[in-house]
Amino acid sequence: MKNIYLLGATGSIGEQTLDIIEKQRDDFKLIGISGYSNFDKLVEITRKFLPEIVVVKDKFDKEKLVKLFPTIKVEFGRQGLKTLATYHKEDQDAYLINALVGMVGLEPTIEAIKIERDILLANKETLVVGGHLVSLLKKQYQFKLYPIDSEHNALWQLMNHENTKDIKRLIITASGGSFRGLSRDELKNVSVSDALKHPNWSMGNKITIDSATMMNKGFEVIEACYLFDLDIDKVDTVIHKESMVHSLVEFNDGSILAHVSHPDMHLPISYAMNYPNRKVTHIKPFDLMLLNNVSFQTMDLERYPCLNFAINAFKIGGSMRTVLNAANEAAVDLFLSGKIKFLDIETIIEEAMRKHQVIDFPSLEEIYELDSTIKEEIYKKFR
């Protein structure tokens, strides 16, 4: 039996994690959850699973929740997320599942590492902004970090018993997102609702926009470098519209291994939660004939400059990755609220990166400070 501490229970990954917990009640026990803006959904989940601790957005939501569930411990805000990540410190049979969106996921990850709690990570922004801190902590603490992101979960499955030195390159596939059929010129006046229509995956709003700009793939390249300890020159991306091959690994002997499945996040989440075992999922059997219709296309960095920004931010290193992420979070938020156009997302990120003076190895506090400064500057401009 594993005890589950779930950050971001009300989100897309959070909900799919809850589906698995519900189906495997004998294997998993939900001890704590967090939510943010969707209070009603959090109440519903709390009622269904009766966890010991619930973390909400602020003290007003805390008051409301305490009234509804007087015996449950309720915390809020940044401190609340830390409390949840380290709740029952001594609990050895535990997983922290980080399904938060954005850099808010970094600090609770670090807190969990420091008590040597194993982590199942969906929150890729943790590694984008704080990969250097996590890598350092890997040398000091004993913990496991299992990827939930589908491409990385696939890579983990493919490389499980391989030596890193035998790997020639990783190939991460990208669907191309909602606007993959459009030219740059046609991107000028696209709408928010069209941007949110991802052709293959149903995901939270932010990652759906990140997929349309290809920033998501940029983040995933950085995520792969930290997870698998590989140089960025060994991580390639390719457009694969059908989202059936989730990643490939090319070895020095000329072999290429690929991971194939329907695009459904229940699978990587279930694999990570049940590792090293595999459990039957509801996912329908994969008809091999589907592979007669798959396609691969070379990635076009001119069509998708955000991927290039991410690669450059990783190569420059240090605080540039915080700037990349902070500018992206603010720009995507402004686009979603109708304040800027789709292509302004790129302009905002490029400008923020151009103006930034790099700090080599930013601490957690420096990352938080820089993140707010960058976001404030951008929001001020478009208020």
Judged by CB under 6 A, how many residues of this single chain contact ligand NAD? 29
Least spacing, CB of residue 75 vs ligand NAD, in Å = 12
At 174 the three-state DSSP class reads strand
Report whether the peptide linkage leading into residue 276 is cis, meaning its omega lies within 30 degrees of zero.
Answer: yes
Under the binding rule (CB under 6 A), the answer on residue 201 touching ligand NAD is: yes
353 and 327 Cβ atoms separated by less than 8 Å? yes
Per-residue CA distances from 299 to 21, 211, 214, 302 (Å): 37, 14, 10, 9
Nearest to 98 by CA among 21, 17, 3: 17
| d(C-alpha 333, C-alpha 216), whole Å | 15
State which of residues 21, 122, 323, 353 lies at the interface with ligand NAD (CB under 6 A).
Answer: 122
Q: How many CB atoms lie within 10 A of CB 276?
A: 6
Query: Which residue's beta carbon is nearest to the bound ligand NAD?
Result: 11
Under the binding rule (CB under 6 A), the answer on residue 265 touching ligand NAD is: yes
Least spacing, CB of residue 124 vs ligand NAD, in Å = 5
Residues 44-103 that bind ligand NAD (CB under 6 A): 99-102
Residues 11-50 that bind ligand NAD (CB under 6 A): 11-14, 34-38
Least spacing, CB of residue 183 vs ligand NAD, in Å = 27
Under the binding rule (CB under 6 A), the answer on residue 157 touching ligand NAD is: no
Nearest to 148 by CA among 15, 239, 13, 327: 13
Under the binding rule (CB under 6 A), the answer on residue 322 touching ligand NAD is: no
| d(C-alpha 246, C-alpha 239), whole Å | 11
Least spacing, CB of residue 316 vs Mg ion, in Å = 23
12 binds, among Mg ion, ligand NAD, none (CB under 5 to 8 A by kind): ligand NAD
Under the binding rule (CB under 6 A), the answer on residue 149 touching ligand NAD is: yes
Closer to ligand NAD by CB, 38 or 251: give it.
38
State which of residues 75, 111, 125, 149 lies at the interface with Mg ion (CB under 5 A).
Answer: 149
Cα angle 308, 340, 376 (rounded to 5 degrees) comes to 80
Closer to ligand NAD by CB, 78 or 315: give it.
78
The set of residues, in sequence order, having a beta carbon less than 8 Å from that of 293 and lying 6+ positions away, is 242
| d(C-alpha 356, C-alpha 370), whole Å | 10
Binding mask 92-121 for Mg ion (x = CB under 5 A): ------------------------------
Q: How far apart are the first and last CA of the chain?
A: 49
Under the binding rule (CB under 6 A), the answer on residue 10 touching ligand NAD is: yes
Q: How many CB atoms lie within 10 A of CB 68?
A: 11
Judged by CB under 5 A, how many residues of this single chain contact Mg ion? 3
207 binds, among ligand NAD, Mg ion, none (CB under 5 to 8 A by kind): ligand NAD
> Which part of the chain contacts ligand NAD (CB under 6 A), choosing from 18-26, 63-71, 199-207, 312-320?
199-207
Closer to ligand NAD by CB, 132 or 152: give it.
152
Least spacing, CB of residue 41 vs ligand NAD, in Å = 8
Least spacing, CB of residue 267 vs ligand NAD, in Å = 11
| d(C-alpha 320, C-alpha 304), whole Å | 19
Alpha helix segments (H runs only) across the chain: 12-23, 39-49, 59-68, 77-85, 106-114, 125-140, 150-159, 192-195, 205-213, 215-228, 266-274, 305-316, 320-336, 344-355, 364-382
Least spacing, CB of residue 123 vs ligand NAD, in Å = 4
Nearest to 77 by CA among 61, 101, 95, 96: 61
Residue keyed to tokens 């240090």: 318
State which of residues 104, 273, 310, 324 lies at the interface with ligand NAD (CB under 6 A).
Answer: 104
State which of residues 96, 207, 340, 345 lies at the interface with ligand NAD (CB under 6 A).
Answer: 207
- The binding site for Mg ion (CB under 5 A) comprises 149-151
Query: Could you list the residues that contact ligand NAD (CB under 6 A)?
Result: 8-14, 34-38, 99-102, 104, 122-125, 149-150, 201, 203-204, 206-207, 265
